[in-house]
Amino acid sequence: KNQVEQSPQSLIILEGKNCTLQCNYTVSPFSNLRWYKQDTGRGPVSLTIMTFSENTKSNGRYTATLDADTKQSSLHITASQLSDSASYICVVSAGQAGTALIFGKGTTLSVSS
Amino acid sequence: EPEVTQTPSHQVTQMGQEVILRCVPISNHLYFYWYRQILGQKVEFLVSFYNNEISEKSEIFDDQFSVERPDGSNFTLKIRSTKLEDSAMYFCASSGWGIGNEQFFGPGTRLTVL
């Protein structure tokens, strides 16, 4: 069964600190892996998309890594800001057409001052 | 900046009634999607739509559900006979050409079935 597991479930950090979120997946056939940010009550917003052949991708203060052999990914946030408080969701694209997205439960990040 | 819009933002209906959720995808996008998120749970894929037909659908997307692109701009999700467990946030998304293209999500419609 296609699954995406994330850890930790929640995280509290001080403003300015760095953090790393983890994702493990068992999805077949694998197309690509995405990280999304979701604010409460809003739609997810894409941060990064990585295909099988990519092992790192950055978007500003967000850096995602992918190890397709071990089926693991991480999202590193540097110099956190209060506005980074949100749910960060690991999403794997699956299915023959590659359009079905399998979502993890997300890591809830709280950044405090 | 172009964005996906959804209407209504909140829909309340009685169990057994039909509802239609509406979405206006980004104008030059070709792929359209519906997702749902039950309160406190993860986002779940329902269906993808391309070239006026369903591309993929999940087990959730049973005969109770249907999608349509009635004109050049709207994309709708119809739930024929709503159940209590259909209460959720429904997100529409769209993407440009290519399977790996970024999906842009709308703000969602919160459906409450009483």
Mean pLDDT across B41-67? 93
Task: Kindly determine whether residue A97 and residue B56, on different chains, have CB atoms separated by under 8 Å.
Answer: yes
What's the confidence (pLDDT) of residue B28?
87
Nearest to B29 by CA among B95, B92, B76: B95
Mean model confidence pLDDT for chain A: 92
Of all residues in chain A, the one with the smallest CA distance to B100 is A32
SS3 B54: strand
With cut-offs at 50, 70 and 90, classify the pLDDT of residue B98: low
With a cut of 70, say whether residue A67 has pLDDT above it: yes
For A82, phi then psi, to 5°, come to: -55, -35
With cut-offs at 50, 70 and 90, classify the pLDDT of residue A27: confident
Count interface pairs A-B at CB distance under 8 A: 64
What's the confidence (pLDDT) of residue B1?
77
Mean pLDDT across B74-93? 96
What's the confidence (pLDDT) of residue B60?
94
Is the Cβ–Cβ distance between B89 and B109 less than 8 Å? yes
Task: Kindly determine whether residue B42 and residue A41, on different chains, have CB atoms separated by under 8 Å.
Answer: no
In DSSP terms, A5 is beta-bridged to A24
What's A43's DSSP letter? -
What's the confidence (pLDDT) of residue A100?
78
Mean model confidence pLDDT for chain B: 92
Provide the token pair at A40. 């409460």
With cut-offs at 50, 70 and 90, classify the pLDDT of residue A97: low
With cut-offs at 50, 70 and 90, classify the pLDDT of residue B100: low
SS3 A41: coil
In DSSP terms, B73 is beta-bridged to none
Provide the token pair at A105. 């439960």
Q: How many of the other CB atoms lie within 10 Å of CB of A39?
A: 12
Interface of B with A in 14-33 (CB under 8 A): 31, 33
A32 touches chain B (CB under 8 A): yes
Amino acid at A103: F
What's the confidence (pLDDT) of residue B99?
59
Of all residues in chain B, the one with the smallest CA distance to A108 is B40
B72: left (phi over 0), alpha (psi -120 to 50) or beta: alpha
With a cut of 90, say whether residue A99 has pLDDT above it: no
Pairing of strands A45-51, A56-59: unpaired
Task: Kindly determine whether residue A99 and residue B105, on different chains, have CB atoms separated by under 8 Å.
Answer: no
SS3 B46: strand
